[in-house]
A and B are shown apart, each in its own frame.
Chain A
Amino acid sequence: MNPLSLLFHFGKFMDWQRQIYRRPENLGMYYKELVRQMFDIGLGSLPIIFLISIFLGAVTVTQFYYQMDGQFIPTSFIGYIVRDMMIIELSPTFSCIILAGKVGSNMAAEIGGMRQKEHIDAMDIMGVNTSAYLVMPKVLAALVMIPLLVVVSAFVGIAGGYLASVPLGLFSHNDYITGLRLFFEPHNIFIMLVKAATFAIILTSVSCYQGYFVKGGSIELGEASTRAVVYSIILILVADYIIALILT
């Protein structure tokens, strides 16, 4: 994408935001859609988040144990490292990258499909603010559910680390638990939630934008879905760096 096109899409995206955050025509209808989206994003993504988090924790423990082997560092530090890595970086960033692939591509395809089947035109003609009705509940649902998923991911990741180490005899139960209690900073939880909320807004807004303005047929819809994932991931990583700079 050339810089001029990037600037054009950024302007169009920002202008479109004004259409999205408007007073709903009917709160009840928006609420129904919000609940449906919360169910889809939250419960629908729980298994994959659970699965990746348990392995993230397990791999982190295994690799740190390998790197620290033979050094004069207490093994309890591994619990401390896993906890903070999961909370500060792995849970929010990795989960949201996975969610950009699962939820983001799904949103782009759903809205893009509605555009192609003239569903959006039909709603426009009825007088519905389609930008608001189709996008706002998705963003709000993600804003609520993705931080919750990230919290679950952090817990599961830490549990995954435990399961991959203590039962295998790498170190003791007490070492791991002692490590988890070392140098705990509540501010890190704040960083995790800020990241999760920011990434939630990025992945839903970018994906909905790609779907809403799709033109052409099924090939273009596939391309829009791919763009939704790629741009979301790039922006999540950029935002990750910026948040790290500001909050640490």
Chain B
Amino acid sequence: MIRAENIRKSFGDQEVLKGVDFTFEAGKTNLIIGRSGAGKTVLLKILVGLFAPTSGKVWYNDRDFSALDKKQIRELRMEVGMLFQGNALFDSMTIEENIRFPMDMFTKMTLKEKKSRVNEVLERVSMEGINTKFPSEISGGMQKRVGIARSIVLNPKYLFCDEPNSGLDPKTSITIDELISDITDDNNITTIINTHDMNSVMEIGENICLLHQGKLAWKGDKDQVLQSDNEELHNFIFASPFLQKLVDRVGAKNI
């Protein structure tokens, strides 16, 4: 479980997050949703420790992130995996070297054990046999899968995904969502996904946090989305003219 406690963040005079409280539950796919500029990425980066909040606290179970020393932060990092929006795969390394990197750096596994683990996670993301390729030689969807493989190679307890569907076609997006959801269920990890993809919301949103102008505007799960009367949620979900026409015709609760 990760808990954001009254998180505020300002960049100069601009306050991006205005006191966000939310609990991201263990063993669930937790979604941070909202329109562009709502503060989703900033919140995600604060949760993962890349930004320090102006005020407020982030709790990893009973550990206050801001109170941890460098050694404790390094230990906590071992429990965290992250999939970046641009994948952040190292261009000069092969796929195998990319996935092996955290093991090379932090474990005393033999090369044979590491190679075996690489093959295991590549199989988990259905990407067997691309070990010797470079990131530039595979498609965007494949890069996402490799990014996921690298983020789970050390069996993290917490998985962060920053816009995992960006730049992907709808079908590949669904596959990636299902993959993340399956990994969450299989390993009972706390997964936090930052997205504005409505398919993701409706398919894998087990615990959803809607941000609007830096504030928590709504929380619930995918089954409550269409039942809710929250105006911000409606504006976000039915932003598409097609969906709006559908709602006008049959009503949101009947979709």
Residues of A with C-beta under 8 A to B77 = 124-127
CB <8 Å contact, B105 and A118: no
Contact with A along B73-86 (1 / 0, CB 8 A): 11001101110111
CB <8 Å contact, B90 and A119: yes
The CA-CA distance from A29 to B85 in the complex, in Å, is 26
CB <8 Å contact, A125 and B80: yes
CB <8 Å contact, A127 and B88: no
B54-106 residues at the A interface, CB under 8 angstroms: 73-74, 77-78, 80-82, 84-86, 88, 90-91, 101-102, 104-106
Does B180 interact with chain A (Cβ within 8 Å)? no
CB <8 Å contact, B74 and A127: yes
Taking a contact as CB atoms closer than 8 A, the residue among A28, A119, A125 that contacts B50 in the complex is A125
Interface size class of B (residues with CB under 8 A): 20 to 34
Does B48 interact with chain A (Cβ within 8 Å)? yes
The CA-CA distance from A127 to B48 in the complex, in Å, is 11
Residues of A with C-beta under 8 A to B101 = 126
A116-166 residues at the B interface, CB under 8 angstroms: 117-119, 121-122, 124-128
CB <8 Å contact, A122 and B88: yes
Chain A: interface secondary structure?
Answer: helix
Does A5 interact with chain B (Cβ within 8 Å)? no
Residues of A with C-beta under 8 A to B48 = 125
Residues of B with C-beta under 8 A to A248 = none
A129 nearest in chain B by CB position: B74
Residues of A with C-beta under 8 A to B86 = 117-118
The CA-CA distance from A119 to B77 in the complex, in Å, is 16
Residues of B with C-beta under 8 A to A223 = none
B74 nearest in chain A by CB position: A127
Residues of B with C-beta under 8 A to A117 = 86, 88, 91
CB <8 Å contact, A118 and B74: no
Residues of B with C-beta under 8 A to A29 = 104-105
Residues of B with C-beta under 8 A to A128 = 105
A24 nearest in chain B by CB position: B105
CB <8 Å contact, A121 and B88: yes
Residues of B with C-beta under 8 A to A118 = 84-86, 88
The CA-CA distance from A1 to B73 in the complex, in Å, is 36
A1-48 residues at the B interface, CB under 8 angstroms: 25-26, 28-29
**What are 5 A-B pairs at a CB distance below 8 A?**
A118-B88, A122-B84, A125-B49, A126-B101, A126-B105
| Chain A residues in the interface with B (C-beta under 8 A) | 25-26, 28-29, 117-119, 121-122, 124-128
Beyond A121-B50, A127-B73, A127-B105, 9 additional contacts (C-beta under 8 Å) are A26-B106, A117-B88, A117-B91, A122-B82, A125-B50, A126-B105, A127-B77, A127-B78, A128-B105
* Ranked 9 nearest A-B pairs via Cβ: A127-B77, A122-B88, A118-B88, A127-B74, A125-B82, A118-B84, A126-B102, A26-B105, A119-B88
